[in-house]
Amino acid sequence: MYVLAAPCLLDPSLRAEGITSDEDRAAFARALERCAEFGIEVVPLPCPETLHLGRPRPPGPFRGRLDTPGFEALLDRLEEEVRALIAGRGPPLCIVGVDSSPCCGVNRHFFDEDRQPGRGTWLARFSAIPAVDVHTFACYRLYLAAPLFSAAEREFNARLAVFLRERHYRVVLPQELGDDEAVRGEGELYQLYDRLVAGLEGADVVVAVIDGADADSGTAWEMGYATARSFPVIALRTDFRRVGDHERVNLMLECSSTIAGSFDELAALLGERLDKQEKGGYQASGKAMLV
């Protein structure tokens, strides 16, 4: 099990001078942390920009710097090497790229003076392989908010957690933190509260189960807390009932989250690019991550 990765994830100095922010470095580190946690080998792609232009180099677009026969010949040779690697190892889970790169951009690339949508010129040669921007790949720590008071609810939550962990997400599940009847004595309540809030604070994304005629009050509180802290929230509602012509659930919950109707739809939404990285507001962009 492996991913192909833009080589600057392992060596940020391969990027053009002055463009790597602290936020970028943190995303690179979390992406590598995710791979280490789930036993995913990171296989770096060659860096055609560095091979062609050397380093250090100033930032610049594809047009006017890389649109040359020499660079095209270099890409041809490197593509042969990478395809030989894939033939020997089997297909990777995905390619982890870096948006805005003229070569390794996933959702947009620096083609000319304006960023253009789509893959950079290097990743475009592997269009059959799913590609994920590193900032999205780095958002893998989930808090699973859900009712947990019956055996059926706990079993559903556990099955959902397994589904997500199989896709290489770290999942904080309150029922695994001791949230049950045994710890709800007067002395334990605040300790439990502190554990759950800490779990929320450490998440990149909150996943909330909102089935039922009305959403569970604790889950609604966790969604509200996440929204107030500008954490992205993706809600799962498999219940076909609706509360109105234009609402599936309570207005405030629906408008503060993106709602999935199934496990598979949830996985697709989790893989979409976060327009505001880290713990910013969530807006879907239609780029699915298949890991």
pLDDT tens profile 136-193: 999 899 999 998 888 898 999 999 999 999 999 999 999 887 766 665 666 677 788 8
**CA–CA dist 109, 101 (Å, integer):** 5
Q: Is the peptide bond before 56 cis (omega within 30 degrees of 0)?
A: yes
Q: What is the DSSP string of 163-186?
A: HHHTTT-EEE-GGGGT-SGGG-ST
| Pairing of β 131-133 and β 115-117 | unpaired
Query: For the residues 228-235, what does the mean pLDDT come to?
Result: 91
Domain 140-270 fold: Rossmann fold (3.40.50)
pLDDT at 284: 35
Q: Rounded to two decimals, what is the model's pTM?
A: 0.81
The H-or-E segment that residue 37 falls in is helix 22-37
207, 271 contact by CB (below 8 A): no
pLDDT tens profile 242-264: 776 666 777 788 888 888 889 99
**CA–CA dist 202, 144 (Å, integer):** 12
Locate tokens 């290097």: which residue? Answer: 122
Mean pLDDT estimate for the chain: 85
Residues of the chain with CATH 3.40.50.450: 140-270
Using alpha carbons, list the distances in angstroms from residue 222 to 3, 51, 208, 226, 231: 33, 49, 8, 6, 11
pLDDT tens profile 141-151: 999 999 888 88
- Is the confidence at residue 273, as pLDDT, over 70? no
**CA–CA dist 166, 126 (Å, integer):** 25
Burial of 107 (0-12, 13-18, 19+ CB in 10 A): buried
